[in-house]
């Protein structure tokens, strides 16, 4: 691996680490509480989420191959539609897209630690972890890559262990994953056509967010036209399999009513049933350790978006400043400062819905942009081509639009907050126009 570039393995680990965050450890409780009662409905949520992520990854692979520059949606939407649209996506990434998920992961990490050691301040733990990881990523790219590789491998091994042990040892709850379940009053498959299913996809969407992670750091990846598509596909497929299996284990290990009332403690409740009290406490600490990988990957990626915006806009040019090793230190520190503010001031569940809605809207526009690029003939012949086009990106758009509609209908407060964030970005754009057309 070049000292200034990261290889396919690390790029794939970045995708996996971004995806496997707090979402998979907390979403089940919110889904059950939101009205999805059947094992079939829950499994379909995670499978549909995997399909959405995979279809999105296929579309992003073509965009990343055609426009291999760091910045993700900021770069793509600026090129495809207008610099304003690109700026708004970058604004969302800088203010919400990475800082909020980092805050969620840090809050969850501290929550798991305080379950075992209740005398410690939860916000203090969360903020300390964010600061230490920020320092870790403020030196060299090679150091960041090694830390990311090790922390992600540990995360994968832990999840595989929980799944394997859960299947072998956990007391079964006889959860049915069939579309027709005689143990509940309604036919199970009907759940997937309800507004509860659509709203619950926001939790799934947040859990799967990160399937586009390596596209944000194209400048730092060896041979990005080849390695970005591979890393997106490999990472998304691996995570989808892990998510379906671990959520089945969660449902099969503890009573549904207990999981429903657990809020964001699903993994802890499940671990207590699988491993017993002492084992559950140990697993709580290990889950906290796995979240370090998630925080690390987003602390690494997010500032690259701000860096590219700083390169294009002289008013925020300070964000583009890098140290001698090419690391955007100022952007990294600013993102972590926003994260700490969210940790101290935000409510966990509201941040999940708000973040899921806002990011869903941005990725919807980006995948739509693939159709625009194809129609305008702006995809080069040597670029990666989306598998299953136009069906796969169309599936992504339909499912994303369905989720957005029902979220706005059922959760207007969080939806309006997401839209308000975008409006605020528009005002800032027109006050401080870019110094060049991108």
Query: What is the predicted pLDDT for the residue at 196?
Result: 74
pLDDT tens per residue across all 438 residues of the chain: 444 688 999 999 999 988 887 778 878 877 777 667 777 888 888 898 899 999 999 999 999 888 888 888 999 999 999 999 999 998 888 777 788 888 888 988 998 899 889 988 989 999 999 999 999 998 888 888 899 899 889 988 988 988 888 888 756 666 666 655 555 544 455 666 677 777 777 778 778 888 888 888 888 888 888 898 899 999 999 999 999 999 888 888 888 888 887 766 788 888 888 888 888 888 888 889 889 998 998 899 889 888 988 888 887 888 889 888 888 999 999 999 999 988 888 666 666 667 778 888 899 999 999 999 999 888 887 778 999 999 999 999 998 898 888 878 877 887 888 888 889 889 888 876 555 444
What are the pLDDT digits (tens) for 126-155? 999 999 999 999 888 888 889 989 988 998
User: According to the 3-state scheme, what is the secondary structure of 395-424?
Assistant: HHHHHHHHHHHHHHHHCHHHHHHHHHHHHH
**H-helix segments, 313-347:** 329-345
How far apart CA 432 and CA 348 sit, in angstroms, is 32
C-beta separation of 208 from 239 below 8 A: yes
**362: number of CA atoms within 13 Å, CB side?**
33
Cα separation, 208 vs 243, in Å, equals: 9
In our burial notation (b when 16+ CB lie closer than 10 A, e otherwise), range 190-206 reads ebbebebbbbbbbbbbb
| Domains recognised in the chain with CATH numbers | 8-431 (1.20.1740.10)
User: What's the CA angle centered on 146, arms 145 and 149, to 5 degrees?
Assistant: 85
- The rounded distance, in Å, linking the Cα atoms of 251 and 194 is 21
Note the pLDDT tens digit of each residue in 263-279.
Answer: 667 888 888 888 888 88
φ, ψ at 181 (rounded to 5°): -125, 115
Query: What residues pair up with 6 in beta bridges, in sequence order?
Result: 221
């Amino acid at each position: 691996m070049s000292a200034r570039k990261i290889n396919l393995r690390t790029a794939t680990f970045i995708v996996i680490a971004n995806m496997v965050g707090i979402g998979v450890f907390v979403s089940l409780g919110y889904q059950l509480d939101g009205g999805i009662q059947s094992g079939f409905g829950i499994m379909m949520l995670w499978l549909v989420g995997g399909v959405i992520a995979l279809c999105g990854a296929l579309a992003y692979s073509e965009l990343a191959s055609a426009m291999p520059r760091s910045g993700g949606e900021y770069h793509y939407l600026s090129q495809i539609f207008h610099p304003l649209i690109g700026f708004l996506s970058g604004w969302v990434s800088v203010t919400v897209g990475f800082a909020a998920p980092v805050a969620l992961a840090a809050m969850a990490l501290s929550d798991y630690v305080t379950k075992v050691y209740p005398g410690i301040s939860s916000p203090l733990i969360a903020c300390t972890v964010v600061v230490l990881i920020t320092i870790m990523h403020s030196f060299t790219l090679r150091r960041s890559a090694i830390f990311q590789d090790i922390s992600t491998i540990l995360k994968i091994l832990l999840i595989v262990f929980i799944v394997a042990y859960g299947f072998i040892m956990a007391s079964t709850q006889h959860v049915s994953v069939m579309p027709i379940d005689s143990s509940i009053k309604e036919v199970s498959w009907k759940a997937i056509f309800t507004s509860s299913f659509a709203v619950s996809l926001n939790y799934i969407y947040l859990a799967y967010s990160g399937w586009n992670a390596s596209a944000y750091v194209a400048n730092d990846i060896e041979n990005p036209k080849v390695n970005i598509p591979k890393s997106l596909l490999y990472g998304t497929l691996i995570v989808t399999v892990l998510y379906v299996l671990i959520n089945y284990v969660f449902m099969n290990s503890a009573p549904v009513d207990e999981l429903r009332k657990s809020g964001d403690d699903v993994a802890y409740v499940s671990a207590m049933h699988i491993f017993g009290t002492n084992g559950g406490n140990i697993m709580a600490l290990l889950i906290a350790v796995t979240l370090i990988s998630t925080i690390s990957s987003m602390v690494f990626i997010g500032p690259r978006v701000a860096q590219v915006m700083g390169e294009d806009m002289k008013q925020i040019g300070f964000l583009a400043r890098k140290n001698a090793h090419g690391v955007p230190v100022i952007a990294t520190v600013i993102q972590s400062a926003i994260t700490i503010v969210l940790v101290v001031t935000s409510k966990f569940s509201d941040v999940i819905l708000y973040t899921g809605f806002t990011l869903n809207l941005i990725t919807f526009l980006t995948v739509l942009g693939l159709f625009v690029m194809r129609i305008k003939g702006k995809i080069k012949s040597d670029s990666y081509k989306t598998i299953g086009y136009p069906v796969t990106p169309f599936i992504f758009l339909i499912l994303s639009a369905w989720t957005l509609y029902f979220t706005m209908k059922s959760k207007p407060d969080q939806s309006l907050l997401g839209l308000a964030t975008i409006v605020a970005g528009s005002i800032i754009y027109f006050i401080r126009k870019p110094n060049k057309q991108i």
